[in-house]
Chains A and B, each alone.
Chain A
Amino acid sequence: MSASSTAEAPFVPKTKVGSFTNFVDERVGGSGILREFGRKVFPDHWSFMFGEVALYSFVILLMSGTFLTFFFDPSMAETHYQGSYTPLYNVEMSVAYSSSLNISFDVRGGLFMRQVHHWAALLFVASLGVHMLRVFFTGAFRKPREMNWVVGGVLLILAMAAGFTGYSLPDDLLSGNGLRIIDGVIKSIPVIGTYTSFFLFGGEFPGTAIIGRLYVLHILLVPALILLMIVIHLFMVVVHKHTQYPGPGRNDGNVVGYPLGPVYAAKAGGFFFIVFGVLALMAAAFTINPIWNYGPYDPSPVSAGTQPDWYIGFVDGALRLMPGVINDFHFEWVIFGRTLTLNVLLPALVPAGIIFTVLFMYPWIERWITKDNREHHVLDRPRNAPTRTAIGVAGFTWYCVMWAAAGSDLIATHFHVSLNDVTYWLRTLFFIGPVIAFIVTKRIALALQRKDREIALHGRETGRIVRLPHGEFIEVHAPLDEYKRYKLVGFESLAPLPAEPNEHGVVTRKEKRRAALSKWFFEDRVAPATPAELEAAHAHGHHEAIAAGEDQKSLSH
């Protein structure tokens, strides 16, 4: 054996390219990596591509952001604008704002790059959000992907942080107003608030330090953390392999799809340029954050229509919804000479706190309720997990109510309604909106499941009405092919799991709570049609079958 292996002649490449690649391969072992990664299989579905959109947006953000750093000066020193935008000529402003204006008007391609950067930032967070919604509603966060779900949540928070620090950099009136709100929120934190604010701003707001500090966070710390999280995220995707939608031949032990190389890699590479192209078109044709409109920051004016970028909107909306006084009950108290402003503290921190706590905890909550410790690589169709879907829609509705509240003034002017009425309605919806959404969603999901069951058992309605010889009218139902039927019946419908005693034979109070939640979760359920039911329905259909036309259709009532 050893003799034959030593006798084997070393590989001698025949071409120049071959010898070069062989040289590299013998030193870094690229072919092994390529063999491993090139064979990784990715299932193809449009809803699986939002993570990619986020990744590509981030790459575009890095590239356009690098360009912007060449020309941006994060100084709060005072200057008089001497650039080419006349409505601001010789106006006193910070160097940061002046350099932002120069990027927009005097640097070749600068305005385009600024707009690419800003649109990409909005798309980055939006695609992240949609990606997370997809993961939630298909149950992709279940074992073994719980930790990757948390990494995704951290990425969402980091993306918001990156966005907000960037939003504040141009030091225009809009970004200054945004910073002032953040300052107010920080100051509302009991005891440490004022100190934190003074630490952050280097003294009383706005000070002369904040832009430089935010700049360091924006171009160094936050992107580095995002990059780290992306690496961890993608590493775990490789380890876990990709999830797939249910279908014939797909199970928790396989992945059905295309290998990475060459088809999927080509698609993904092309998709990067599609995302880039869409962003470039948007940046070329649609203005975003026209900083020249807002003027330099000055703590006294606040423009109408001042809002944060969309991903901070829900916090701004919550602040707008919060009343300062209800009848005679004030939300601002003075305790031991210190002011506690609940009307700022509660809306600014509580809804966001609830949303992110539930978001991070959810995989473990569901795992605790179901006691399900199996690995899941096949996704749920949202309708097949009615309670989870309803919880998700309820949470999303809650978010949307707050989100809409951030644009309450524009809703009022554009729909010709009273701003006060908009606020009252949104306050009501803040409380009852999620409840209505939960009930409606759950009912819709259950109804869709019943429809699926009906179609699986009796076939698809064809719309053809046939009159039988004895006068009865029946509609012809066409049976489904095997593949379509599999999609409708191939899922697992969990049933409530009653409380079980622990090893000491005691049913703990916690276990009772779990059982109650399990009942609430899975009490309303539609079981998939079983093979026996299918067989029975099929036989029933054939029993009444007649030769209705040239195509053979089975009939049923």
Chain B
Amino acid sequence: MKALSQKRRHPLAAIALLLMGLLLTGGLYAVATTVNQAKADTTSFSASDVEEGGKLFAANCATCHGMGASGTQDGPSLVGVGAAAVDFQVGTGRMPMQMSGPQAQQKPAQFNEEQTKQLAAYVASLGAGPAIPEEHLLDGKGDAANGGELFRVNCAMCHNAAAAGGALTRGKFAPALAGVSAEHIYEAMATGPQNMPVFNDSNITPEDKRDIITFLKTIEANGSPGGADLGSLGPVSEGLFVWVAGLGVIIAFTIWLTSRTS
């Protein structure tokens, strides 16, 4: 103890203290997040989850979806949509809906993970439906090439070949897929939110869905090998770029070259 008190005015003491503090908080955080992950993994819901979820549903969702999720004029029945649908819609902030419109917009999630899970538990208890996917399907370690082929055949016509999103009719749109979690991508395929068709397990098997997720995560991690991707929007953004930036710079040079004369 004496040695420690003698060293307390050492020039490096502050740094050592800072390092210890960082290590402590970092370590605690690591433990805490693994605890959270372990929680999210449980796909079987407890009775208390269902009960709490029911209360949350009555308070936040029943206005449109009706008591017991039986549906009203303003919102569809949720019996049989499954836990996956709830996890996607609530987890991405699309539900509760901010306003009526062509389609529900993504926004910061209104419920935390615990509450989302409780809501999912409640809706899942009303009727059988797609469950929250198992962890091994979301690991992004499938066959990216196969996933790419499936993506181009099944998804690219709305989401764009580079998953940059695209327009649908009357204000609806297919969003860009960069930054969407593997879990939400899987759930979207399984439940078909908004205008998206359902790709059930006989359409695209769970392993194929895993490949599609692998493909999306691969191209997202790869970035753009050729330089700035201009939004991956295809020839329109390239044309706009050459007219505005390319020709703009060239015109600046022509003015410079001819500026010395009248």
Contact = CB atoms under 8 A, between A and B. Distances in A.
Interface-centre pick from B149, B230, B239, B242 (highest chain A CB count, 10 A)? B242
Contacts of A126: 242-243, 246-247
A389 B159 CA distance: 43
Interface stretch (B9-17, B65-73, B163-171): B163-171
A420 B235 contact: no
A529 interface: no
A130 interface: yes
Contacts of A285: 227-228
A24 B149 CA distance: 63
A129 to B, nearest CB: 9
Contacts, number: 204
Given A49-B258, A87-B219, A305-B234, A295 B161 contact: yes
A310 B225 CA distance: 23
Contact of A300 (B153, B174, B257): B153
Contacts of B219: 87, 293
Q: Interface residue tally of chain A, by bracket?
A: 35 or more
Contacts of B249: 278
B167 A413 contact: yes
Contacts of A173: 152, 156, 161
Contact of A289 (B171, B174, B235, B247): B235
A241 to B, nearest CB: 18
B144 A87 contact: yes
B229 interface: yes
Contacts of A257: 261
Contacts of A270: 257
A274 B252 CA distance: 11
Given A49-B257, A119-B242, A419-B171, A278 B250 contact: yes
A286 B170 contact: no
A138 to B, nearest CB: 15
Interface stretch (A226-234, A402-410, A457-465, A507-515): A402-410
A74 B98 CA distance: 53
B158 interface: yes
Contacts of A271: 253-254, 257
B24 interface: no
A87 B145 contact: yes
B41 interface: no
B148 A87 contact: yes
A91 B148 contact: yes
B235 A309 contact: yes
A45 B145 contact: no
B238 A310 contact: yes
Contacts of B102: 418
A416 B165 CA distance: 13
B218 interface: yes
B228 to A, nearest CB: 5
Interface-centre pick from B147, B219, B239, B243 (highest chain A CB count, 10 A)? B239
B169 to A, nearest CB: 6
B257 A410 contact: no
Contacts of B111: none
A554 interface: no
Interface string B194-218: 0000000000000000000001001
B40 interface: no
A111 B246 contact: no
Interface in A208-253: 247
Given A303-B157, A304-B157, A309 B148 contact: no
Contacts of B235: 174, 289, 307-310, 313
Contacts of A286: 226-228, 230, 241
A486 B258 CA distance: 21
Interface-centre pick from B145, B246, B258 (highest chain A CB count, 10 A)? B246
A480 interface: no
A274 B148 contact: no
Contact of B258 (A46, A91, A290): A46
B232 interface: yes
Nearest to B237: A410
Given A87-B218, A290-B162, A418 B171 contact: yes
A253 to B, nearest CB: 19
Contacts of B174: 304
A31 interface: no
A365 interface: no
B35 interface: no
Contact of B227 (A48, A284, A416): A284
A348 interface: no
Interface string A498-531: 0000000000000000000000000000000000
B246 to A, nearest CB: 5
Contacts of B33: none
A111 B253 contact: no
Given A104-B225, A418-B171, A122 B236 contact: no
Interface-centre pick from B237, B238, B243 (highest chain A CB count, 10 A)? B238
Contact of A90 (B145, B157, B262): B145
A130 B230 contact: no
B239 A287 contact: no
Given A293-B219, A418-B170, A413 B165 contact: yes
A543 B156 CA distance: 77
Nearest to A271: B257
Contacts of B215: 87
A420 B258 contact: no
Contact of B234 (A119, A123, A174, A275): A174
A127 B247 CA distance: 8
Contacts of B168: 419
B28 interface: no
B112 interface: no
Contacts of B246: 119, 122-123, 126, 278-279, 282
A301 B156 contact: yes
B242 A89 contact: no
Nearest to B176: A413
Interface in B9-50: none
Given A90-B145, A419-B170, 19 more contacts: A45-B258, A46-B255, A50-B254, A87-B148, A111-B226, A123-B247, A127-B247, A271-B257, A278-B246, A282-B241, A287-B228, A290-B226, A294-B152, A295-B149, A301-B153, A301-B157, A304-B167, A305-B234, A310-B242
15 contacts: A87-B144, A257-B261, A287-B224, A289-B235, A289-B238, A290-B162, A290-B226, A293-B232, A304-B160, A307-B234, A410-B236, A413-B167, A413-B173, A419-B170, A419-B171
Closest A-B pairs by Cβ, 3 of them: A304-B166, A310-B239, A287-B226
